[in-house]
Amino acid sequence: MSPYFKKAVSANNISAEKATEAVRILLQYIGEDPNREGLRETPDRFCRALLEMTEGYSIQPEEILSTTFETDSDEMVLVRNIEFNSMCEHHLLSFSGVAHIAYIPSNGRIVGLSKLARIVDVYAQRLQVQERLTQQVANAINKYLKPQGVAVVFEGQHSCMCVRGVKKQSSHMITSAMHGQFRDSLASRNEFMSLIQK
Ligand code: ZN
């Protein structure tokens, strides 16, 4: 049994049996036979996948951002094209794309670059709306790293726009959150925007 599955038993006191039964009911709801060969293990697989995709709930951002390093630079640090996968809380459908994160260190404190990618995952692997996801990543970096400024842009493609509703395949949603120098200085913001558009 995957570690994700075990965790579910304690969350809200819902047992794995109860969760898989709910998926069996959903299958019946759309007219399927949950006992047919191809679907027999589907409720179990679905619950595991769902837990894996929402793993971020069990990770605290401070675990990731508390280890910092010294540097003598106070220039912008930028990581572009950090891939993410998340789930829209309105339809439980996936949305995915890339995030761009920049910050300007304060007192020479920087974090490992992989930490910025991990902080994206911590918040993406929850039920989300892209606007909040963007804010949460920016707020966490601002809170734990205390930089002179932080800028975060998410570009996402939403399944709920592509496969249902208006069915627009190539529309992208762009959201941004800025703090400190990126909010106050047009020059810093423009430098960030031109670097991520290259
Ligand atoms: Zn949606």
CA 148 to chain centre: 24
CA of 89 to the centre of ligand 1 (A): 6
CA distance linking residue 128 with residue 78, whole number of Å: 24
Q: Is the pLDDT of residue 3 over 60?
A: no
- Mean pLDDT for 137-155 is 97
17-67 pLDDT, tens digit each:
999 999 999 999 999 999 999 999 999 999 999 999 999 999 999 999 988
CA of 168 to the centre of ligand 1 (A): 13
Q: Is the pLDDT of residue 171 over 90?
A: no
In the chain, what percentage of residues exceed pLDDT 70?
94
> The pTM is what?
0.90
CA of 131 to the centre of ligand 1 (A): 12
Would you name the residues annotated as active-site residues?
A: 88-91, 130, 158, 160
Residue 120 CB contacts under 8 Å (≥ 6 apart), including other chains = 82, 84, 99, 101, 137
CA of 125 to the centre of ligand 1 (A): 15
Q: Is the pLDDT of residue 1 over 50?
A: no
**Burial class for 94, CB neighbours closer than 10 Å (0-12, 13-18, 19+):** middle
CA of 91 to the centre of ligand 1 (A): 4
How would residue 9 be classed by pLDDT, with cut points 50, 70 and 90? low
pLDDT value at residue 163: 78
CA of 85 to the centre of ligand 1 (A): 13
CA of 92 to the centre of ligand 1 (A): 7
Residue 149 CB contacts under 8 Å (≥ 6 apart), including other chains = 102, 103, 104, 178, 179, 180, 181, 182, 183, 184, 185, 188
DSSP at 148: S
86-132 pLDDT, tens digit each:
999 999 999 999 999 999 999 888 998 899 999 999 999 999 999 99
CA distances from 67 to 99, 129, 186, 195 (A): 22, 28, 30, 27
CA of 50 to the centre of ligand 1 (A): 16
Give me the count of residues in the chain.
198
DSSP at 146: -
